[in-house]
Amino acid sequence: MWNLLDVSIPWEKDLFDFLRLLDEKHSLVFPHFGNWKEVFSLLSQHLFSTPEECNSFEHCLQASSFDQAYQHFASYSIIAGGSESDKKAYHEFFTELMQKHFKEKGISFDGIRFKLYMYWCRKEI
C-alpha cells in the first residue's frame, strides 16, 4: 500500500516535488519512481510475484493548522531521520509553501489530501 500526496492540488504537488528530491538524494524507492516494481521483485527473492493489479482510493487527513501539517510531514522518515541541513531546508520550504499557497491568498488550511494505492501479488510456492 502506498499513501501519496494528491499532486493534482498545487501546494501538494510542490511539496511532493521537494520530498521526491530528498528521496532520490537518499536512493529511496517509491511508486513515483518507475522502477519500484523491479526493486520489489528483486528484494522478494521469488517469494512473491511482481505486483499485478492496483486499486486506488482518496483520503483526507484532517489538519486544521499549518503547524499540524508541518508536524505531519516532519514525521516522515526522510525528514525526521535526515540531516540537520535537510530539516532546515524542509522548514524553510514549508514556510514559503504555506505563505505562497495560503497566507498570501487569505485561504484557510483544511487538510491534506492523499491517494492510496493498494497493489497485490501472488505468493510463489
CB 59 within 8 A of CB 116: yes
Q: How far apart are CA 62 and CA 43, in angstroms?
A: 35
Output DSSP code: residue 104. T
Q: What are phi and psi of 19, to 5 degrees?
A: -65, -35
Whether 20 is covered by a domain: the verdict is yes
pLDDT digits (tens, 9 = 90+) for 92-112: 999 999 999 999 999 888 899
46-75: per-residue pLDDT in tens? Answer: 777 777 777 888 999 998 899 999 999 999
Give me 29's grid cell: 524507492
**Ramachandran region, residue 109 (left: φ > 0; alpha: ψ -120 to 50; beta: rest):** beta
Domain limits for position 82: 2-120
Going along the chain, which residue ranges are E strands? 2-5, 53-61, 112-120
**For residues 9-14, average pLDDT:** 96
Number of domains observed in the structure of the chain: 1
More confident position, 2 or 110: 110
Domain membership of residue 15 (yes or no) is yes
The answer to whether residue 125 is domain-embedded is no
- Model confidence pLDDT, tens digit, residues 24-40: 787 766 665 566 666 66
94 occurs within a structural domain: yes
Residue 45 lies inside a defined structural domain of this protein = yes
C-alpha pair distances (Å), 7 with each of 45, 68, 76, 117? 33, 20, 17, 14
Instruction: Supply φ then ψ for residue 51, to 5 degrees.
Output: -50, 130
d(CA 121, CA 48): 6
